[in-house]
Amino acid sequence: MEKRIWIPFFGNFFCELGQVYDLAVRGFRAIFQKPFEKRNFWQQLEEVGVNSLPVVSLTAAFGGLVFGLQAYLAFHRYIGPGSESQGGPIIAVGLCRELIPILVGLMVAGRVGSAMAAEIGTMKITEQIDALFSLGANPVKYLVAPRILASMIMVPCLTLYGDVIGIFGGYAYNVLLMKVNKTLYLQNTLKYFEMWDISVGLIKALVFGLVIAIVGCWQGMTAEGGAEGVGRATTKSVVVASITILILNFFLSKVLPATL
């Protein structure tokens, strides 16, 4: 009995994985084929990047503040008063390598990945994707390729922006609010914080951008069953992209070296 349940489950899982892989390959290939869909690409840059700035600003600022708070408490409690300035590099490294890429990834998955699934899903059920095909436009090239490229560019950009805001949040809590020695805090940060720490976060963000776009587009392209189906695709795109981001983050953290 158990076998009967597991076989279709794994069958479907690998079948869907194959579909995602196929869409990713076709989407990538389409990026390099002429004519380039400039208009859609610019629209997606704005949608993924510019329109995500407020939410990324907020999450990065409060992420930085809370990380700064915990670092302050930890040093104050376990090392002793006066040692809080040593939290600077820990805050910067932790934010740039882990927290900001994850927060940006999850925020963009929720805001943009779901929108991609909803928009493409609506196009699918209202035959607009068939209309693209009938008018000589390759739907993968027209819809998927600009989204993949825009996400892979803008998620790292948002992460870099989030790094700056987050690090400032940590600094603000420690130096401005808790009156930690500013010179020591900055000296420690600059001494132990490396460019590679930022690069690790950006590499992760690049992968997360790809995951968000592919999952969102794939959910949209395979949506069926009217408005309910689009709703399901939208929810599924957020859940699948978020889980994939969290799992991939661990493996990327493990694979990417601590220092160069």
Partner 1 sequence: MSKIKIVDLHKSFEGKQVLKGLNLEIQAGETMVIIGQSGSGKSVLLKHIIGIMKPDRGQVFIDGREISALPDEEIMKLSRKFGLLFQGAALFDSLTVAENVAFGLRRHTTLGEAEIQRLVRESLEQVGLRGVENLLPYELSGGMKKRVGLARAIAYSPEIVLYDEPTTGLDPIRADAINCLILQLKEKLRVTSVIITHDMNTTYKVADRVAMLYDGRIIEVGTPEDIRNSANPVVQQFINGRAEGPITEW
Q: Could you tell me the two tokens for 138?
A: 């390759």
Q: What one-character DSSP code corresponds to residue 33?
A: S
Output phi, psi for 224, to 5 deg: -155, 160
Pick 130 or 176: Cβ nearer partner 1? 130
Interface size with partner 1, residues (CB under 8 A): 14
Query: Residue length, the chain?
Result: 260
Please count the CA atoms within 13 angstroms of the CA of 197 that sit on its side-chain side.
Answer: 21
What is the rounded distance in angstroms from the CA atom of residue 240 to the CA atom of residue 234?
10
Cβ proximity to partner 1: between 134 and 183 the closer is: 134
13 binds partner 1 (CB under 8 A): no
Give the one residue of 70, 128, 181, 253 binding partner 1; rule: CB under 8 A.
Answer: 128
* Residue among 79, 133, 225, 227 that touches partner 1 (CB under 8 A): 133
Among 2, 34, 134, 179, binds partner 1 (CB under 8 A): 134
Taking CB under 8 A as the criterion, the residue among 16, 22, 46, 127 binding partner 1 is 127
Q: Residues 138, 181, 187, 253: which binds partner 1 (CB under 8 A)?
A: 138
Q: Which of 7, 73, 131, 190 binds partner 1 (CB under 8 A)?
A: 131
Using an 8 Å Cβ cutoff, are 191 and 88 in contact?
A: no
Q: Which stretch binds partner 1 (CB under 8 A): 9-17, 128-136, 144-152, 166-174?
A: 128-136
| Alpha-carbon dihedral angle through residues 207, 209, 213, 214, given to the nearest 10 degrees | 0
Q: Is residue 38 a contact point for partner 1 (CB under 8 A)?
A: no
Count of C-beta atoms within a 10 Å radius of residue 79:
12
Binding mask 84-123 for partner 1 (x = CB under 8 A): --------------------------------------xx
Our finding on whether 51 is near partner 1 (CB under 8 A) is: no
Task: Pick from 135, 183, 195, 255 the residue near partner 1 by CB under 8 A.
Answer: 135
- Both tokens of residue 156? 């790292």
**Cβ 84 vs Cβ 188: under 8 Å:** no
137: left (phi over 0), alpha (psi -120 to 50) or beta: beta
Where does this chain bind partner 1 (CB under 8 A)? 122-123, 126-128, 130-138
